[in-house]
Amino acid sequence: MFGAPMIFIHREPQSIRSMLVEQVFRRAGVSLGPNASRPRFIVRQYTKSLLSPDPPRGIRARLDVRSFSVEQSRVHILIPRIDGCEHCILYLHGGSYVATFTRQHWNFLGKIAEKTKSVIIAPDYPLAPEHRWSEAYRVLFALWKRMGEYLPCASIILMGDSAGGGLVLGFVQTLRDAHLAMPASVIMLSPWLDVTLENPQIEVLSPADPFLNVEALRVAGKAWAGRSNPRRMEISPIYGHFEDLPPLSLFIGTKDLLLADCRKFRDICVVTGAKLDYYEYEGMLHVWMLLPIRESGYAVEQIMGIVATQAQCIDIGSVLEFARGRLKDENNAGSA
């Protein structure tokens, strides 16, 4: 059964802190202007101090962290130290398909784990330019299969930000087409839905975006696609079809050049009747929910509601067995 998408528009005045953060990005030149002569490969260039492929010490102090490898990629499990219902979220990080986790990711995931009482499973999937999209999908399929041996997939939420937000939409479509177990729902945070960036509205929105740069994203998207057609559903999921998917939720700000394709995706869902809850925040930047601003708290509260209503509880013992099983496999492989 399909239903009309639910559309939520957040129009509260922009908080002072979010305006300050925006000015910091603009003055730092995080996004180079359209007349820049030489776009960097990663224009959202995180400093080395912000990149953090492994959960930092502060997260390990708050949460029980287990780590192991799947197809030579590290996978981290964050388990909140709280009593009560435990949900499970498979989270795919953003970074234009070329950058790993940042400290902002881990702080956000720690907050989501504690506030939603959720176990977070976060793979550090293969990235461009050394790897292509197909290698990341191989890791995700292997991880999903392994998770299904211990956990009910129908109780798991797929969530991702930016590139990871596009990846979760592509991945759930491939699960459907392969007739594999589906997750409970999919949550996309400022998702990158089309690596071609051919939507003409992107050029209109770009001057208002202090964070992303069109040309740098195009370079990253081409590296991710490799020799494959960039309009493949797995690479640019907006070119797929959205029937027979679990409930979808999408969060996007109006000072984000990816808004163009998010609105296009929303309109497709309206026409096809796909199950989408669409949250548009006026004045918000790319992945604002990861930033220390008031509006992030509003988005987190809405995510809490989605998790509480769309995912069943899981047995924490099964999660621990899953983690122990993977570690045991690694130890056996190391001693072979």
Q: Where are the domains of the chain?
A: 6-335
C-alpha to C-alpha distance for 211 and 30, rounded to whole angstroms:
6
**Closest to 108 in 3D by CA, of 171, 49, 52:** 52
What is the chain's mean pLDDT, rounded? 90
Token pair 């592509």: residue: 170
Q: Model confidence over 46-88: pLDDT tens digits?
A: 445 588 899 999 999 999 999 999 999 999 999 999 887 789 9
Q: How confident is the model at residue 42 (pLDDT cuts 50, 70, 90)?
A: very low
Higher-scoring residue by pLDDT: 325, 183: 183
pLDDT in tens, 15-36: 999 999 999 888 877 665 444 4
The DSSP secondary structure of 2-35, one letter per residue, reads --PPEEEEE-PPPPHHHHHHHHHHHHHTSS--TT
Give the pLDDT of residue 39: 38
More confident residue, 47 or 147: 147
Q: Is the pLDDT of residue 336 over 50?
A: no
Q: What is the pLDDT of residue 329?
A: 57
- β-strands 118-123, 156-161 pairing: unpaired
Q: Decide if pLDDT at 203 tops 60.
A: yes
Q: Write the CA distances from 49 to 46, 102, 305, integer angstroms.
A: 8, 9, 33
Please tell me the distance from the alpha carbon of residue 82 to that of residue 67, in angstroms, as a whole number.
20
Residue 40 predicted with pLDDT over 80 = no
Starting from the edge strand earliest in sequence, which strands make up the sheet with 63-70, in order? 6-10, 276-285, 248-255, 185-189, 156-161, 87-92, 118-123, 73-80, 63-70
Q: How confident is the model at residue 330, as a pLDDT?
A: 58
pLDDT of residue 315: 87
The CA–CA distances, whole Å, from 121 to 56, 93, 101 equal 15, 11, 13
What is the dotted CATH code of the domain comprising 6-335?
3.40.50.1820
Stretch (H or E) spanning 319: helix 316-335
Calculate what percentage of the chain has a pLDDT beyond 70.
89
pLDDT band for 41, please (50, 70, 90 cuts).
very low
Output the pLDDT for position 34. 44
- pLDDT at position 227 is 97
Mean pLDDT of 170-192: 98
User: Mean pLDDT over residues 175-200, rounded?
Assistant: 98
Tens digit of each residue's pLDDT (9 = 90 or more) over 214-228 = 999 999 999 999 999
The fraction of the chain above a pLDDT of 90, given in percent, is 80
Report pLDDT digits (tens) over 101-136.
999 999 999 999 999 999 999 999 999 999 999 999
Q: How confident is the model at residue 333 (pLDDT cuts 50, 70, 90)?
A: low
pLDDT recorded at residue 49: 53
Residue-level pLDDT at 327: 57
What's the rounded Cα separation, in Å, for the pair 120 and 245?
22
Mean pLDDT, to the nearest integer, of 244-261?
98
pLDDT at 65: 96
